[in-house]
Structure 1
Amino acid sequence: MTPNARISAAIALLDALESAPRRPADAVANDFFRARRFIGGGDRRAVADRAWGVVRERARLDWHLDHVGAAPTGRLLMAAHMMLVEGGGLAGVEAAFNGGQYAEGPLSGDERRLLAKIEGRPYLHPRMDEATRLNLPEWALPGLRARFGEALPEAAAGLEGSAPLDLRVNLLRTTRDAAAQALAAEGIPTTPTPLSPWGLRVADRRPVLATQAFADGLIEIQDEGSQLIALLADARPGMKVADYCAGAAGKTLAMAATMGNRGRIAALDVSAPRLTGAAKRLRRAGVDNAETHLLEAGDRWVKRRAATFDRVLVDAPCTGTGTWRRNPDARLRTTLSDYDELITKQRAILDRAASLVRPGGKLIYATCSVLPGEDEEQVRDFLGHHADFTAVPLAEAWAEAGMDGSPPGQGQHMALAPHSHGTDGFFAAVLRRQA
């Protein structure tokens, strides 16, 4: 594809995203490219990168277009991005929108007039409100300010930056050094992650899923912060463990490794498709001490197994604010109403999962959110209603999990963020049930 054809395809992808505002962008993109198999791998990445660049900057681009009276069409969003973010001018947009083969049609008179008003304006305009300037949704600003304080601008920049590709080595099949060598032999250099003893980091985008190392179950894609949550669970050989919101079983896989495939893990979720995917991953990784169970209305599985698990991990559904650098569309799709609904759902899930923990066992509550309402405040509310649970300070939980050195942070809980730890934004609290 020519550069201009890529721009045109990226605009078509933006229009597809706009037509399905409540669907995750990656799902829309998968359908988009599946219907256009003529777009090769390199062109697909280039088209997606252009579209994601616009999505990442959407709030600011909308602000500029609104201030000149323009509706945010895919064409105008792309043109504004080329001018304001990429540093080009109106002449460059007109050259790209030239009506040539596979290129966008020429700018209309109205489009040219509106874009002319934008040309030369500072991208971070002094009249922008704080939320737009920081590229944050207004509803999340109070919680983010409460979490980060004076470091909010730095934290906001971290949440809109690019994310590395982290891998977790499957210790049931190999070692970190051996996995790194296997990947290097396939042309993918890696470096050890600084915090997780299982992790490898890939500096740029590489086709990891196409490697023999992945096919052989030597590695899984998993952010370093997510790996640390699995480590804090302190799942040991012979234990009985429940992964309550298992999803695709990323943390189930990690805990199976710390257990040496000895003991039992129950991977629980409300989504049958996610559990189907989980079962495939477990087979590829060589995990044979795990079972999956679909949680359905009226299900008595939890009640029948009350107070029988040594460890219960609750990776609760959340706003995903800590993953905005990977999922920039989520900051546009998620609303205050979604946040309020999730708070209620998290509270119910935590109460139900806690009933599985045996006396002396541990409950690990985790989110990929950086909002206190989903994190510390949920833990505080839970402890206020469950006198038989106490919080294990982070340093103590870190040491009990056999980790060397100091934990990432101080205080009762682990709170990670891109700008301070180089991971996605994660929260984890370890709660012990009194014996």
Structure 2
Amino acid sequence: MNDLHGISPGRTAACLILLELAEAPDRELQALLDHQATRLGLDDRDRRLAAALALAVLRYASYLDVQYRPFLRIAPTQVKPPVRVLLRLAAAQRFLFDRIPPHAIVHETVELGRRVFRLREGELRFLNAVARKIVSQEQPREPEARDPVRYLSARWSVPEFLVRLFLRKYGEAPTRELLATLGDEPVTTLRVNILKCSARELIERLQRHQIQASPCPELPSAVVLPDPSLISRAVATPEFRDGFFYVQDCASQFVAHVVMPQAGERILDLCAAPGGKTTHLAELAGGQVQVVATDQDAERLELVRENVARLGSPNVEIWDYERVRAVAEQQAQAFDAVLVDAPCSALGTIRRHPEIRWRITPAHLARFARVQEEVLDLAARLVGPGGRMVYATCSPMDTENAEVVLRFLERHPEFAVAPPSAERAQESVGIRSVATEAAARGEPDAPIAQLLQRLTSPDGFVRTWPHFPQWDGFEMVVLRRKE
């Protein structure tokens, strides 16, 4: 690579990251950011700039293409990948960021093309001409609105097949509202370890480290950070080391409440890594249940061990996956409850991981569904009479949820959907624990039981979208084995 003196290191990193993702969509944004930050020696300011630029382009890629499409004789998809990256980046800086002078956008765009991507002179002239036309616009262009699917896809940068699925599932108005939030910064939530402190105490402790946090209005045992960049500071505190909290989105936290651990139960977390839900179940139960955690990925199972140790989670056993398979082969029906937090497309985390939207195809969804059905069949052999299985994904797609469950029930008529009930919620040791936390905050009632009612659909699924678009998009359902 040529000498980069005089070019913004943050913009250089963003360009390289975006090109890598264009050429290898399966790569993870965070891993690429870490790599380029180390390779280019980015300081905190440049790292934040690189992340902001890359996230903006990934979240609004199709909308950014609209801004320069009129100046091309070919479709944006036919433009050479490095040139397309630079044009999107120019459009992002013009319309999504404040106080960047137009002449600076053009200059940096051309210099990045010359010195980072080593474009030919003809390509540089083309880049310069189109970048000038982009910055000459005072307001961003809107996509054509004749076809609602194409319009929503271009306006909110979501593939058309996903727009169609959302429209079919939620209807037009909720879909428009939801899509409009997918470019927002995700809410950053910490789950309070209620065995060690209250939400109020954790907020006070973080403030001593100049980290601002506030109570989560929906979940009494969670606190919210105002800026995702605070996570790196929060996990460097003694409170993190000593297990006072776990970084976890509200939707992910809600899964343990749907499990509703009851005193004396034996609960299996079948897809446990990295341990967020295992440790949450143990905390909610306060040692009154036995939690067994396993995962097919032996390396990631080590993360469960680490988190259980850090958080001091009581009454947790960690089993190798083959041991669980052996129990299932014996038809042992050894557990009162089995949590299947299944491998999935993770499309519900699209706000947190915007690169996912450009990676997942209908074929991916079909492959995930096959894996999910296999895991459910294994779990079914482990649930005792009258026991329950909680199936959960961080995906809003019916292909991975309702359709998977429907086929499971056809194969396993001994199970039936059992919507969470307010009566059972009151018996849950976890919900009683949260009620104590709510009372400590001066709230009259814990909102968990009410939230369960609000988020439970007529088909028995608990869905966080579209009710809470600021949360990740999770779906959960309780499947009870008949007596």
Q: TM-score, normalised by structure 1?
A: 0.90
Aligned to 1:93: 105
| Correspondence 1:423 to 2:471 | yes
Residues 355-395 of structure 1 show CA distances to partners (whole Å, capped at 9, x for unaligned) of: 11111111101111111221222223322332222222244
| Correspondence 1:198 to 2:210 | no
2:22 partner SS: helix
Write out aligned runs for 1:283-302 (5 A).
283-295=309-321, 299-302=325-328
Match of 2:293 among 246, 267, 278: 267
2:8 partner SS: helix
2:294 partner SS: strand
Report the Cα distance in structure 1 between the residues aligned to 2:350 and 2:314, rounded to whole angstroms: 34
Aligned to 1:139: 161
Residues 385-432 of structure 1 show CA distances to partners (whole Å, capped at 9, x for unaligned) of: 322222222444645544443533243221112763531111111122
| Correspondence 1:241 to 2:289 | no
Distance verdict in 2 for CA 1:287–1:409, change over 3 Å: closer
| Correspondence 1:44 to 2:47 | yes
The one-letter amino acid paired with 1:134 is: W
The one-letter amino acid paired with 1:424 is: D
Report the Cα distance in structure 1 between the residues aligned to 2:323 and 2:54, rounded to whole angstroms: 40
Write out aligned runs for 1:36-435 (5 A).
36=40, 38-62=41-65, 64=67, 68=72, 69=74, 70-73=79-82, 74-86=85-97, 91-97=103-109, 99=111, 108-118=124-134, 119-120=136-137, 122-126=140-144, 129-130=150-151, 131-150=153-172, 151-205=174-228, 206=230, 207-295=233-321, 299-304=325-330, 306-396=332-422, 398-401=425-428, 402=431, 403-407=448-452, 408-411=454-457, 412-417=460-465, 420=468, 422-435=470-483
The one-letter amino acid paired with 1:71 is: K
Give the total of aligned pairs: 433
Report the Cα distance in structure 1 between the residues aligned to 2:52 and 2:28, rounded to whole angstroms: 16
Aligned to 2:24: 20
Report the Cα distance in structure 2 between the residues aligned to 1:304 and 1:62, rounded to whole angstroms: 57
Gaps of 5+ in 2: 432-447
Residues 90-144 of structure 1 show CA distances to partners (whole Å, capped at 9, x for unaligned) of: 53422434759x9979982111223345453743322682322332112323321
Query: 1:168, 1:200 within 8 Å by CA — same for their partners in 2?
Result: yes
Report the Cα distance in structure 2 between the residues aligned to 1:341 and 1:307, rounded to whole angstroms: 28
2:277 partner SS: helix
Q: TM-score, normalised by structure 2?
A: 0.82
Report the Cα distance in structure 2 between the residues aligned to 1:399 and 1:373, rounded to whole angstroms: 32
Query: 1:63, 1:132 within 8 Å by CA — same for their partners in 2?
Result: yes
The one-letter amino acid paired with 1:405 is: Q
Distance verdict in 2 for CA 1:271–1:123, change over 3 Å: farther
Report the Cα distance in structure 2 between the residues aligned to 1:176 and 1:423, rounded to whole angstroms: 19
Report the Cα distance in structure 2 between the residues aligned to 1:418 and 1:210, rounded to whole angstroms: 34
Query: 2:170, 2:466 within 8 Å by CA — same for their partners in 1?
Result: no
Q: 1:16: Cα distance to partner? A: 3.3
Query: 1:241, 1:265 within 8 Å by CA — same for their partners in 2?
Result: yes
Report the Cα distance in structure 1 between the residues aligned to 2:421 and 2:338, rounded to whole angstroms: 20
Query: 1:84, 1:122 within 8 Å by CA — same for their partners in 2?
Result: yes
Report the Cα distance in structure 2 between the residues aligned to 1:54 and 1:113, rounded to whole angstroms: 20
Cα RMSD (Å): 2.9
2:45 partner SS: helix
Report the Cα distance in structure 1 between the residues aligned to 2:331 and 2:221, rounded to whole angstroms: 31
Report the Cα distance in structure 2 between the residues aligned to 1:2 and 1:305, rounded to whole angstroms: 67
Aligned to 2:33: 29
Q: 1:289: Cα distance to partner? A: 1.9
Report the Cα distance in structure 2 between the residues aligned to 1:362 and 1:335, rounded to whole angstroms: 32
Residues 54-94 of structure 1 show CA distances to partners (whole Å, capped at 9, x for unaligned) of: 11112333455566233342322212322343476753422
Gaps of 5+ in 1: none
Query: 1:227, 1:254 within 8 Å by CA — same for their partners in 2?
Result: yes
Query: 1:173, 1:286 within 8 Å by CA — same for their partners in 2?
Result: no
2:340 partner SS: strand
Q: 1:266: Cα distance to partner? A: 1.7
Distance verdict in 2 for CA 1:419–1:110, change over 3 Å: farther
Further displaced range: 197-206 or 215-224: 197-206
1:302 partner SS: helix
- Greater helix content: 2
Report the Cα distance in structure 2 between the residues aligned to 1:2 and 1:171, rounded to whole angstroms: 51
Further displaced range: 390-399 or 276-285: 390-399
Q: 1:279: Cα distance to partner? A: 0.9
Query: 1:415, 1:427 within 8 Å by CA — same for their partners in 2?
Result: yes
